[in-house]
């Protein structure tokens, strides 16, 4: 995948420029080898990213590849879904953005991650506020980020990981700091989907709201693109 900028190496190519307020940013997408459990992501950042960073750059990395490298995933066929997970998932509101926790596999892993009591309480609060106040999202606010970050099986993620449920990475804050040191620049681990972007962990100098804004259109590629890492580079003041 060759970049349009001749100064860039073969594994880094241009994504679309994005405007945030009066500033504009290039998004340079980094193609990586397949990432598996045990992949040394720090070494990958040293070799594929560090030589090409500029002082003002910000790195963003998909939480999914971090979780996969940590072994934070389970194959769908190996997950024993309990009746409670089937019951709760059937009552999750339909969304145009995908199954989410309507997938019984995802709900089962949510129960394991957060505990039955917390999920039941979250479901009760979410159902109550949705019916009485017309407000959505309280299930995830109560259940917590570890539950909201669970990615279910899908056809978009590169094989074989489309057949897996992927959990939130362990210690995303500490992991982001280690990765930033390896890469030689500020870094954020992000959970981005069609609904929005969240920063799960970041090194000390990261502007988290800026990260949400520059990744809001989900520029990182989890499928055949194999670009789970992005370099965000300021360009100029917008006119």
CA distance linking residue 35 with residue 127, whole number of Å: 38
Q: What is the pLDDT of residue 32?
A: 95
- The arithmetic mean of pLDDT across residues 111-123, rounded, is 96
CA distance linking residue 3 with residue 9, whole number of Å: 7
Q: What is the pLDDT of residue 3?
A: 44
* Confidence at 97, pLDDT banded by 50, 70, 90: low
Q: Judging by beta carbons within 10 Å of its beta carbon (0-12, 13-18, 19+), is residue 42 exposed, middle or buried? A: middle
Pick the residue with more confidence: 192 or 225? 192
pLDDT tens per residue, range 41-63: 999 999 999 999 999 999 999 99
CA distance linking residue 185 with residue 2, whole number of Å: 24
CATH superfamily assigned to domain 12-72+170-237: CofE-like (3.30.1330.100)
* Confidence at 75, pLDDT banded by 50, 70, 90: very high
Please determine, for residue 124, whether its predicted confidence score (pLDDT) is greater than 60.
yes
Question: In which residue ranges of the chain is CATH 3.30.1330.100 found?
Answer: 12-72+170-237
Q: What is the pLDDT of residue 5?
A: 73
CA distance linking residue 71 with residue 152, whole number of Å: 15
CA distance linking residue 108 with residue 60, whole number of Å: 29
* Reported pTM: 0.90
Q: What is the pLDDT of residue 70?
A: 98
Residue 109 DSSP SS3 = helix
Percent of the chain exceeding pLDDT 90 equals 70
* Confidence at 223, pLDDT banded by 50, 70, 90: low
Would strands 186-192 and 58-62 be described as parallel, antiparallel, or unpaired? Answer: parallel
* Confidence at 118, pLDDT banded by 50, 70, 90: very high
Pick the residue with more confidence: 160 or 28? 28
Please determine, for residue 238, whether its predicted confidence score (pLDDT) is greater than 60.
no
* Confidence at 133, pLDDT banded by 50, 70, 90: confident
């Amino acid at each position: 995948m060759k970049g349009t900028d001749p100064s860039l190496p073969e594994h880094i190519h241009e994504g679309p420029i994005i405007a945030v307020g009066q500033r504009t940013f290039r998004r340079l997408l980094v193609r990586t080898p397949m990432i598996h459990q045990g992949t040394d992501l720090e070494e990958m950042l040293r070799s594929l990213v560090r030589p090409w960073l500029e002082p003002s750059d910000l790195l963003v990395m998909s939480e999914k590849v971090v979780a996969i490298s940590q072994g934070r995933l389970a194959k769908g066929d190996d997950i024993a879904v309990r009746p409670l997970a089937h019951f709760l998932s059937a009552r999750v509101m339909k969304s145009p953005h995908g199954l989410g926790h309507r997938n019984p596999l995802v709900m089962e892993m949510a129960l394991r991650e957060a505990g039955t009591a917390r999920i039941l309480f979250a479901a009760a609060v979410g159902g109550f506020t949705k019916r009485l106040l017309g407000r959505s999202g309280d299930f995830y606010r109560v259940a917590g980020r570890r539950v909201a970050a669970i990615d279910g099986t899908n056809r978009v993620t590169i094989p074989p990981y489309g057949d897996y449920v992927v959990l939130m990475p362990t210690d995303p804050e500490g992991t982001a700091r280690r990765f930033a040191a390896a890469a030689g620049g500020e870094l954020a681990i992000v959970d981005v989907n069609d609904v929005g972007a969240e920063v799960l962990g970041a090194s000390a100098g990261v502007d988290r709201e800026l990260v949400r804004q520059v990744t809001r259109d989900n520029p990182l590629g989890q499928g055949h693109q194999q670009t789970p890492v992005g370099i965000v580079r300021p360009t100029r003041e917008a006119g």
